[in-house]
Amino acid sequence: MRLSGGELHLRVFVQPGAKKDEISGTHGNELKIKLAAPPVEGRANKRLVELLARLFKTKKSAITIKHGAASRKKLVKLEGVSAEAAIAALTC
């Protein structure tokens, strides 16, 4: 996780096709996120954005998958997230 200039950059490891959407800890240096959506036609990416928007209480339009759209390992950028909000969201 890196926070700079109102932008939060998260490295995530996504496990699509899980039973439910959840943050399940870490995978190396990445945040591990399980998603119920399958990895076809961008469904898992869409669900990832929805989950992060709920978690960080921000708009979906403020979230961008910068790298790894077709990979389990992704770099996600969230705009307008404070350090306090990031810590609160990830420690619940």
- Structural domains of the chain, ranges and CATH numbers in brackets: 2-90 (3.30.1200.10)
- pLDDT digit string (tens) for 10-35? 999 999 999 999 999 999 999 999 99
Q: Is the model more confident about 48 or about 82?
A: 48
In this model, does residue 92 exceed pLDDT 70?
Answer: no
The pTM is what? 0.91
**What pLDDT does 33 receive?**
97
Identity of the amino acid at 34: K
| Residues forming a β-bridge with 15 | 34
HSE-CB of 70 using CA atoms within 13 angstroms:
1
Q: What is the pLDDT of residue 89?
A: 83
pLDDT average, residue stretch 41-69:
96
Give Cα separations from 55 to 10, 41, 50, 59 (angstroms).
Answer: 13, 23, 9, 11
CA-to-CA dists, residue 14 to 6, 21, 54, 84, 90, angstroms: 24, 10, 17, 24, 16
